[in-house]
Copies of this chain bind each other. A is one copy, B any other.
Amino acid sequence: MRAGERAYRELRADIVSWRLTPGQVLGEVDLSERLGISRTPVREALSRLTADGLTEPHNGRGVVVSAISAGDVRALYELRDSLDCRAAELAAQRGDRDTFRALAEELSHAAEALSDDPDHPAYYELVDRMDAEIDHAAGNPYLQQALANVRLHLARVRRLSTSNPRRLAIAAAEHEAIARSIAEGDPALAVATTRVHLKNALGNALRTPELAPVSPVAS
């Protein structure tokens, strides 16, 4: 694989998983030595990260990992509400009903899988698959790209949120409701179920204590 691509994915994973914390300065020389590649692909990776909003230019000198505050989470959910509701609405109009019926069925059995694994990878894989199916059903590449960007930032928040089994069980039921409303081809209901889910998800995300109340200046 191309070195620049590898560097980008590695750094992105480090940021999303909070191995790199906000305020961390990313110098080109440091990274090129740490990753064993030259500065050129490192520069490419850093400019892509900055375009994604995961890093910010730092006083004209390098880039730093962006902070993410409770206000950012609210703003992200505001945008996500617009995008997810529209995607669900379109999916209900255009999607394949059997696909979403099958997803709803799987989600109804997800409660058992929740207690199996400590990090619940099977559940998150299922949610990711549903997101992908909604994207595909909406059939709108611009909407899809905007959603991908929002999900990137939200993945960062999710790694911080406490994923207690109780909330996950409720979330699974909410996802099932969304899938069923899409399967029934009911756009208005798809919007409503999505909105309900996002309202609860935001409430849960804001319960994260590690979130800075306001965007802190990286010191």
Alpha-carbon distance A82/B44, docked complex (angstroms): 32
B interface footprint on A62-99 (CB within 8 Å = 1, 0 otherwise):
00000000001001101101110110001000000000
Instruction: Say whether A86 contacts B75, CB under 8 Å.
Output: no
Contact of A143 among B44, B53, B75, B143 (CB under 8 A): B75
B interface footprint on A34-72 (CB within 8 Å = 1, 0 otherwise):
000000100110011001010000000000000000001
Rounded to whole Å, the gap between the CB of A196 and the closest CB of chain B is 18
Stretch at the interface among A10-18, A117-125, A145-153: A145-153
Alpha-carbon distance A173/B188, docked complex (angstroms): 30
Instruction: Say whether A79 contacts B47, CB under 8 Å.
Output: no
Chain B residues lying within 8 Å of A72, measured Cβ to Cβ, are: 142
Instruction: Say whether A79 contacts B140, CB under 8 Å.
Output: yes
Instruction: Say whether B48 contacts A51, CB under 8 Å.
Output: yes
Alpha-carbon distance A210/B211, docked complex (angstroms): 50
Chain B residues lying within 8 Å of A79, measured Cβ to Cβ, are: 83, 86, 140, 142-143, 146
Could you tell me how many residues of chain A have their Cβ less than 8 Å away from some Cβ of chain B? 28
Instruction: Say whether B86 contacts A82, CB under 8 Å.
Output: yes
Chain B residues lying within 8 Å of A142, measured Cβ to Cβ, are: 53, 72, 75-76, 78-79, 150, 153
Chain B residues lying within 8 Å of A47, measured Cβ to Cβ, are: 44, 47-48
Q: Which residue of B lies closest to A146 (CB)?
A: B146
Chain B residues lying within 8 Å of A145, measured Cβ to Cβ, are: 53
Alpha-carbon distance A146/B47, docked complex (angstroms): 18
Alpha-carbon distance A146/B82, docked complex (angstroms): 11
Q: Beyond the given A51-B51, A53-B142, A78-B140, please list 13 additional residue pairs across the A-B interface where CB-CB is below 8 A.
A: A40-B40, A44-B44, A44-B47, A47-B47, A48-B51, A75-B143, A76-B142, A78-B86, A78-B90, A81-B86, A82-B86, A83-B146, A146-B149
Give the 3 A-B CB pairs with smallest separation, nearest first: A82-B86, A82-B82, A75-B140
